[in-house]
Amino acid sequence: MIINAENIILGRLASYAAKQALLGEKIIVINCEKAIISGNKEDILNEFSSKIKRGNPFKGPFYPRRSDMIVRRTIRGMLPKKKSRGREAYKNVMCYLGTPESLKNEKFVTLKFNIDKLTTLKYLQLKEISRIIGGKQNDL
């Protein structure tokens, strides 16, 4: 199953992908840098920067800065990763920046959780968050 994350709310995308992965589907998420997080800009950035600064840089917890890894980590948070079925489901989740050449002609699932359903106009795309917190991204 290929999911296009463009203008999709990150939490809803992650919960849907986690449920499908637990059912045994292979999940591929493309355009991860275009997923959105709703809320006030300062609050979102404070939350992400506190997650990155938390803990010891040598022992963890380690939190990603690149937007495709942020999406994968969010999906991991919705899986029972300490149980064997959760670990197997997490192996079936792949996230990509942009659209890979091998997936250009494939059909993808469009989810109903896009920005049109959002009642507020306050949101940030993951590529903006990643750029601000210091993530290295490929120019797409």
Reported pTM: 0.86
Q: Where are the domains of the chain?
A: 2-133
Please check whether the domain covering 2-133 is classified as CATH 3.90.1180.10.
yes
Q: How far apart are CA 119 and CA 78, in angstroms?
A: 25
Confidence grade of residue 137 (pLDDT, cut at 50, 70, 90): low
Q: How far apart are CA 76 and CA 82, in angstroms?
A: 10
Q: What is the pLDDT of residues 14-65, one digit of tens each?
A: 999 999 999 999 999 999 999 999 889 999 999 988 888 887 888 888 888 8
Q: Report pLDDT for 78.
A: 94
